[in-house]
Amino acid sequence: MPYRTIIEPFRIHSVQAIRYPTPEERLAALEAAGYNLFGLHADDVIIDLLTDSGTGAMSSKQWAGMMDGDESYAGSKSYYRFRDTIKELTGFAEIIPTHQGRAAERILFAVTVHAGDVVPNNTHFDTTRANVEYQHAEARDLVIAEGHDPSSLHPFKGNMDVAALEATFDDVDRDRIPLAMMTVTNNSGGGQPVSMANLRAVSELCRNRGIPFFLDACRFAENAWFIKLREPGYEDRTPREIAREMFSLADGCTMSAKKDGLANIGGFIGLNDRDLARDCRNLLILTEGFPTYGGLAGYDLEAIAQGLDEVLDEEYLRYRVRSTAYLAEKVLAAGVPIIQPPGGHAVYLDAAALLPHIPPHEYPGQALAAELYLDGGVRGVEMGSVMFATRHEDGTETPAPMELVRLAVPRRTYTQSHIDYVAEVMIDVAQRAEHLRGFRIVEQAPWLRHFTCRFEPIADP
């Protein structure tokens, strides 16, 4: 299009009202939730940027597909549409539906990962790490150094440190590395993309060593778009061609359809190895369901098949990446440091830089996230030491490498004025930054503690 303004490539067809809780109601709600934003009633949130997972709006074509869902227990036509769409997109021979991404991880790792194993990844997402560690194996993050530097403008900050991966392959017994993974885009590292050159290098190294290579493909379409924008040689390729090339470098994938599936639920495993697929299906039947529905309704399979098609539309991807960049520009203008450049699905606020007076063990990200909610009803999520600290047996913790708050942008859900409102809240909070106080954790679970832990504010000294 000849104009500079990138518009939402859709018009709104059905709306949901937003409730406006008062500041007093928000404080009461937060206290009742133990200051954990996951514990809030969503009705007490004005703009919900907790996650982009399953929170997007579906298209009229997806809803039409749902009306046409085939709920047959075995061999549903919706399964065949789902399977064929994904086969065509990924080239993988075996497609196994699951109820969401972590179910795919749980099944794949239960079959392949054993106690004492090491699984390398650029950066494990929280559920991926937890599912590796649940098998008593080590989840090893090997992202490039720029990936840990919030101000580095490297175009592909999600890249794997190939030399570090090679060193891991040299140091660890071959049969202690069941597979290597790459997360595209690198969610926990700031939604940063991975280049095709890096995927190719990792793929070749894995092939030479006989180690299966898997993609955690949740945001494959956003990654493909960044490759088109930033990697020489890909300017004229379509997102679909780029995505196909990405998948062709891997032996399999896990996927949450709640991200680039543009659906509200669902996931899958894609594989070429038939024996491995058989073992996965045997476990699938135990915990998810028959292999032609895997914990999903027939109508979910329809919504995902349609969504995987729409997500590769160039106008959609241009709007998607631009609306995240717009939020980033607004936040920067408010004087809040962020991870640069902004990723595809979210803006990551650098709470350590904004709140230098709050040490990591008092959770600066939690302090910032709680204040954004109290101030304007905006819900983000802490991605710092609450989520990623290494916890030791004696109760001490090694802090996470970065103290971030993620503002994730649900797909096709909020308009530009919603984002302008978020920016206003941000400016107000940033101006009062030195008055924010840290938190201590008073209750926590043995793993994935951020979902359920309870906090207490630390009083003024």
Binding mask 284-323 for ligand PLP (x = CB under 6 A): ----------------------------------------
Residue 156 phi/psi, 5-degree rounding, is -130, 70
Answer for which of 59, 76, 128, 264 binds ligand PLP (CB under 6 A) is: 128
Binding mask 204-243 for ligand PLP (x = CB under 6 A): ------------x-x-------------------------
Task: Tell whether residue 258 is a contact of ligand PLP (CB under 6 A).
Answer: yes
DSSP for 324-364, please give it. HHHHHHHHHHTT--B-SS--SSEEEEEHHHH-TTS-GGG-H
DSSP for 192-248, please give it. B---HHHHHHHHHHHHHHT--EEEE-TTHHHHHHHHHHHSTT-TTS-HHHHHHHHHH
DSSP for 247-266, please give it. HHT-SEEEEETTSTT-SSS-
Q: Are 167 and 107 in contact (CB under 8 A)?
A: no
Choices 200-208, 231-239, 251-259, 363-371 (CB under 6 A): range interacting with ligand PLP: 251-259
Which residues are 398's β-sheet partners? 390
Tokens 């379509």 belong to 238
Task: Tell whether residue 78 is a contact of ligand PLP (CB under 6 A).
Answer: no
- State the minimum distance, in angstroms, from the CB of residue 345 to ligand PLP: 8
Answer for which of 36, 53, 323, 385 binds ligand PLP (CB under 6 A) is: 53
DSSP 160: B
Please report, as residue ranges, which positions from 262 to 281 form the binding site for ligand PLP (by CB under 6 A).
267
Task: Tell whether residue 125 is a contact of ligand PLP (CB under 6 A).
Answer: yes
Task: Tell whether residue 102 is a contact of ligand PLP (CB under 6 A).
Answer: yes
353/386 Cα distance (integer angstroms): 17
Task: Tell whether residue 259 is a contact of ligand PLP (CB under 6 A).
Answer: yes
Please report, as residue ranges, which positions from 398 to 437 form the binding site for ligand PLP (by CB under 6 A).
none
Cβ-proximal residues to 423 (8 Å cutoff; 6+ apart), any chain: 327, 330, 331, 333, 334
Choices 65-73, 98-106, 164-172, 324-332 (CB under 6 A): range interacting with ligand PLP: 98-106
Question: In terms of CB distance, is 21 or 401 closer to ligand PLP?
Answer: 401
- State the minimum distance, in angstroms, from the CB of residue 158 to ligand PLP: 10
63: which 2 tokens?
Answer: 């809803």
- State the minimum distance, in angstroms, from the CB of residue 129 to ligand PLP: 10
Binding residues for ligand PLP, per CB under 6 A?
Answer: 53, 100-102, 125, 127-128, 183, 187, 216, 218, 256, 258-259, 267
